[in-house]
Amino acid sequence: MVPAGVPISEHPLTRYLRPGTMPSSFCPGCGCGMVLNALLRAVDHLKLDPKEMVMVTGIGCSSWIPSPMFKCDTLHTTHGRAVAFATGVKLMMPGKKVLIVAGDGDLAGIGGNHLVHAAHRNMDLGVIMVNNAIYGMTGGQCSPTTPAGMLSTTTPFGNLDPPMAVSELLASAGANFVARWTTYHVRQLSRSIEELLTGEGFRFLEIISQCPTHFGKDARKEPAEVLEQYRQSSVPFSKDKGTAEAPDEMAMTVGTIADRQGKGYVRRLEQAEARWRGPPVRVDKKEGKI
């Protein structure tokens, strides 16, 4: 714990940040700062070398967590395509830890196809989806995870659709690791991010996060009240039942939803390449045959 009054530059975790990126551009009370904190703690706890990491982000507030703040090779991509860009990075640099940070609109909305396919391939990527259930950067439009009935600037009479169960979808698609927590659960967040950064295959963490500026504009709550609500309405995921009994419609299941040991794409590819290529071929220069 850093005592009050100590300049931010002396915080022990600032060594992971690009100089000049603090204070962040997030709104007061935004969950993105808490996600950044959990990410830095996970990296620090694992003693990862940022030189061995690549962060890939999309478009949206949460993509600004590593881009520009985290000091490692960072690819800030087009809207929705972070997972596909990261696939290219990973295949060329299989030894690097490739982590994606983006929002619900980016990953599940415009980029949903890439997300499902990367999970299906069990591509060796870590993905943090900061789910604030709204398009924050563009000013509060409905997203695929906005609850039914919720007012937004594009659902002025209430959202007609139920929220998409993104984590459950990816667990079904074949992801090795899937977990969901909220910004209230800061210790669990760090531990889950460590899970993203250690195992193989597709590893996904959904973080339910507050957007005090745009989510629920018409019934605004203080960020601390939202965190308290997260605490009260979180229900631990139960393996026996497949999912928790939701006591009311605002409840959310939290915990590790899938934890499998499937072979990741890179390991399957490398084993296949060795098979395809076979032993080294002696070159007969006269014949010149393949």
Write down the least CB distance from residue 128 to other proteins, Å.
18
- Residues paired with residue 70 on neighbouring β-strands, in sequence order: 17
Q: Which whole-number Å values give the CA distances from 194 to 177, 199, 254, in the listed order?
A: 11, 9, 17
Write down the least CB distance from residue 185 to other proteins, Å.
30
Q: Does 277 bind other proteins (CB under 8 A)?
A: yes
- Residues paired with residue 174 on neighbouring β-strands, in sequence order: none
Query: At 208, is the secondary structure helix, strand, or coil?
Result: strand
Nearer to other proteins, 47 or 285 (CB): 285
Cis ω for the linkage preceding 68 (within 30 of 0): yes
* Residue range at the interface with other proteins (CB under 8 A); choices 158-166, 187-195, 223-231, 274-282: 274-282
The span from the CA of 161 to the CA of 84, in Å, is 27
* Residue range at the interface with other proteins (CB under 8 A); choices 7-15, 46-54, 236-244, 253-261: 46-54
Nearer to other proteins, 114 or 203 (CB): 114
Q: Does 288 bind other proteins (CB under 8 A)?
A: yes
Q: Does 1 bind other proteins (CB under 8 A)?
A: no
Nearer to other proteins, 30 or 125 (CB): 125
242 token code pair:
């497949």
288 token code pair:
């010149």
Scanning residues 62 to 101, which ones bind other proteins (CB under 8 A)?
Answer: 67-68, 71-78, 80-81, 84-93, 96
| 8 A C-beta contact, residue 130 and residue 94 | no
The span from the CA of 130 to the CA of 209, in Å, is 6
Nearer to other proteins, 51 or 220 (CB): 51
Nearest to 118 by CA among 264, 268, 257, 272: 264
Q: Which residues bind other proteins (CB under 8 A)?
A: 18, 20, 50-51, 54, 56, 67-68, 71-78, 80-81, 84-93, 96, 113-114, 117, 269, 273, 276-277, 280-281, 283, 285, 288-290
